[in-house]
Amino acid sequence: MKAADHYDVAVIGGGPAGMMAALRAAERGKSVVLLEKNTKLGKKLDITGGGRCNITNAEFDKRAFLKHYGSGEKFLHSPLSQFSVQDTFDLFTTRGLPLVVEARKRAFPATHRATDVTKTLEKYLQDAGVAVRTRTAVSALRAKSGRIMAAVYNGGTYTADSFIIATGGMSHPETGSTGDGFRWLAEMGHTVRPASPSIVPLKMSDAWVKKLAGTTIENVKIIFFCEGKRAFSKAGPLLFTHFGLSGPMILNSAAQVGDLLLAGDVTCAIDLFPEMDFPALDKKILAAIDAGKNRQLINVLPEIVPRGVANAVLALMKVGTDTKAHSFPKEDRRRLVHLLKAMQADIIGLMGFDRAVVSDGGVILEEVDTRTMRSRIISNLYLIGDVLHISRPSGGYSLQLCWTTGYVAGNAV
């Protein structure tokens, strides 16, 4: 084993939080090494937002923004005061990557390419003088007398005055997020909550749902039930997949649905026309049928619902695809109204870490001084990004947490 390389700061993990921490520490004149197990930096960042990278959420009111972090809200006032949503906009814009804001205040790079975010940060790291070491899988941390002494990897060790852990959670393990940091931190005495997929699609058993794979409906209301009792509801766009349901509304419901699944059987009712009451929807359907009374019902229904949904509706109603619109009786029309206002489906689970946008779990915030992101247990250790146990929805909140905690640690280390 070769002699140890020594730096002021060693950052373990080359994702968004780690890159931010490294470049900020280097800007302050620190010698910094960034250690990444993959062949390149930002491997998970490159696939976020469907490859477009939802870089933050354009909610500039700090208090309103923090409401999205659940019990973590009270711990994050200081970090967000040090590096805000506006600071994120300014950082990327001044580095030549302007942002655009879309529905639900989601901010993306104007190029709509996540890889451009990674490239911008890589150039920033280079300009700041950070020593980047890819293909460097840290296998252990050596600690003594309440301090980290060295990071061990297969080619030797790196020693540093301070260490920043940015190894991520456990979503998309194929990108390297395999929970290594959780194990190290637990061994050093931190309380680490077990990981579970928290922003993840739902797994369904109903064949009609899976047959609609690829279909998106822009505005629905979905009501969740546990053991037949109404639990909660959400509204927004819905994406049908070959395994169940997805889309921002579903992803942001997954944690609550997961809790319900622990308590019993979970079902849902999908209202395809949340803005219409029953009489208004009946009137809409009647008008479409009257206008196309001599056509087959299967060719009339797409004027009311998406074509794929029309096929599913007829199958659920056990109505033949060759049925003429004028042969569709009033009783069946009423059944159709009730069906479109409450399409029933069974939820059998959450998809796993490989499908998760974000997983929760990690070190509890009571053990971190969030004014600096320094561990309250290990004096020269800083914890950032997804190694922290913080619940948050999709929509840019996870990456803003990375930018903010990374900056704060890099500024304080």
In percent, the amount of the chain with pLDDT more than 70 equals: 93
Residue 197 confidence (pLDDT) above 70: no
Where do the structural domains in the chain lie, given as residue ranges? Answer: 5-197+358-412, 201-351
Question: What's the chain's average pLDDT?
Answer: 88
DSSP letter for each residue of 208-257: HHHHTTT-EEEEEEEEEEETTEEEEEEEEEEEE-SSEEESHHHHTTHHHH
Mean of pLDDT values over 66-81: 91
* Cβ-contact 243, 228 below 8 angstroms: no
**CB under 8 Å to 141, separation ≥6 — which residues?**
148, 150, 151, 152, 163, 184, 188
Between residues 3 and 94, which one has the greater pLDDT? 94
Which pLDDT score is estimated for 249? 87
Q: Residue 264 is encoded by which pair of tokens?
A: 């019993």
**CB under 8 Å to 377, separation ≥6 — which residues?**
146, 188, 189, 190, 367
Which pLDDT score is estimated for 357? 54
The DSSP symbol for 52 reads T
Least confident segment among 13-17, 60-64, 304-308, 356-360 = 356-360
Mean of pLDDT values over 152-161: 91
Report pLDDT digits (tens) over 257-269: 888 887 888 999 9
CATH number of 5-197+358-412: 3.50.50.60
Model confidence at 174, pLDDT cuts 50, 70, 90, reads very low
Mean of pLDDT values over 376-380: 95
* Cβ-contact 181, 18 below 8 angstroms: no
pTM for the whole thing?
0.69
Which pLDDT score is estimated for 270? 95
Nearest partner of 164 among 26, 360, 359, 366, judged by Cα: 26
Model confidence at 360, pLDDT cuts 50, 70, 90, reads low
Between residues 375 and 199, which one has the greater pLDDT? 375
Which pLDDT score is estimated for 176? 42
